[in-house]
Amino acid sequence: MELQAIKTSNFVSASGSSSIGATDAFFSELITDDRALNEYLLTGQGNLTTILYLNPWYGSDRNMYDFFSWVRLWNTQHSDKVTVHIVDPQAPWENAPLIGASLKKYDALSNTTFSAQFMPIILANCFGAMYANQIEWAYSNQSTQYYARGGRLLDNETVACTSTIDYLSDLFQSEKRHIVRSGALGIHEFRNTMNALRMLRSWQIKSGTLYTSPFQSARVREATFGISVRSQYANVNPIGSRKHKTIFLSANVHISKAVLRQMFVNVGYFEGLHSVGYQLHSEMDDEYVAIAQSGFNVTGMFSKAPYPFPNSPVSIDLTLEAYQDKFLLVDTKASWVSKQQWLLHEEGMPNGRYYNLTEAFDAIVFHSVAPKGVWIG
């Protein structure tokens, strides 16, 4: 897992001496169920191993388990609780119920029957929407058939799903003042509903184009990913309040402040793809701080084995490993860093991805003692 941060006034390091209590929320890229995860973090109910790992998409390294166990321990000892919010637009099992609940409230307000009219369409056609959680979806016939078709969705299902979402998005946006002023939905609920509609649509397009048009898939996901983070950030930073410190946990590729160049192995250069970090930096300027994480002999997300050693002379991981320190904090503004393009550790790329590190990140946390993958499976 790669650790980065959104800075709101002063960065709070999860491993440093500063109090995590000043951090009100973690935003995470994880494809898991934050309803179950937060129940565990706040009450201790549930099985953390099942919540995090019972999903065939992921290999499982121990540090993720240890991290959330540590957050749970913090919450048992302090009154200022910390919660985790999944901001990656890949959770239809959470988005669909939220949309359904908001539609019922709108029906009660406006004497309509939109919930009964539209939710069956969403559940039947939006990929994964009918399932209660990611575990149920991952082992479903729907998921099996999707992969058997080579990662394709049926065109009629995508049209039905996206057209319904578009209609509901326009409806809620046009009725925003009425909905919020009436109290049918609070402003946070309204934002979350709009965000859920965007994310469900993005997941449909992303899933349908992942194998046939990977750049389109990445572009759709990244754009919605950025909006999701900004929407959740607005929820934890209401106008007029103090700024709440928030840490965004995601891969280096997503937090980069510079426009991305290469997104997939052996597919060429995708100049112009705007990462989540690029979007946040464009809006927040210096209030957004991107801290990349890198290392040597660390575990790839989908791999049971140690990550391949980089061997390129312009790999910054290889350069930093030569110092033989367990941990290093590298200032990307240093002259030796800024003088050239570097390869930085990236999932699925043995030598990493080319970055102008000075433009892309504010700092790099490098480590050479990351635990090998512990397969919980």
- What is the 3 state secondary structure string of 335-373? HHHHCCCEEEEECCEEEEEEECHHHHCCEEEEECCCCCC
C-alpha 51/C-alpha 57 separation (Å) is 13
- Residue ranges of the chain whose pLDDT lies below 70: 1-23, 31, 54-61, 238-244, 262-271, 297-309, 347-348, 369-377
Closest of 270, 242, 238 to residue 256, by C-alpha: 270
Which pLDDT score, from 0 to 100, does residue 311 have?
78
Q: Give yes or no: residues 192 and 99 share one domain.
A: yes
Q: Give yes or no: residues 189 and 96 share one domain.
A: yes
Task: Say if CB 362 and CB 285 are below 8 A apart.
Answer: no
Q: Report yes or no on 162 lying in a domain.
A: yes
Q: Give yes or no: residues 203 and 309 share one domain.
A: no
Task: Say if CB 63 and CB 299 are below 8 A apart.
Answer: no
Which pLDDT score, from 0 to 100, does residue 75 have?
92
Q: Report yes or no on 112 lying in a domain.
A: yes
Task: Say if CB 256 and CB 361 are below 8 A apart.
Answer: yes
For residues 302-320, b (16+ Cβ closer than 10 Å) or e, as one string? eeeeebeebeeeebbbbbb
Taking the mean position of all CA atoms in its chain, how far away is CA 142? 23
Task: Say if CB 132 and CB 139 are below 8 A apart.
Answer: no
Task: Say if CB 21 and CB 83 are below 8 A apart.
Answer: no
Q: Report yes or no on 67 lying in a domain.
A: no
Q: Which of residues 212, 233, 254 is at a domain's end? A: 212
Q: Report yes or no on 156 lying in a domain.
A: yes
Task: Say if CB 208 and CB 156 are below 8 A apart.
Answer: no
Q: For the segment 254-291, what is each residue's pLDDT rounded down to a tens digit?
A: 999 998 776 555 555 566 788 999 999 998 888 899 99
Q: Which of residues 212, 242, 262 is at a domain's end? A: 212
Task: Say if CB 291 and CB 362 are below 8 A apart.
Answer: yes
Structural domain of residue 355, as residue ranges? Answer: 291-377
Q: Report yes or no on 60 lying in a domain.
A: no
What number of residues does the chain have?
377
Please tell me the total count of domains within the chain: 2
Q: Which of residues 212, 231, 251 is at a domain's end? A: 212
Q: Give yes or no: residues 99 and 207 share one domain.
A: yes
Which pLDDT score, from 0 to 100, does residue 312 have?
86
Q: For the segment 106-121, what is each residue's pLDDT rounded down to a tens digit?
A: 999 999 999 999 999 9
Task: Say if CB 55 and CB 138 are below 8 A apart.
Answer: yes
Q: Report yes or no on 78 lying in a domain.
A: no
Q: Report yes or no on 205 lying in a domain.
A: yes
Q: Give yes or no: residues 99 and 208 share one domain.
A: yes
C-alpha 288/C-alpha 271 separation (Å) is 22
C-alpha gyration radius of the chain: 21
Q: Report yes or no on 319 lying in a domain.
A: yes
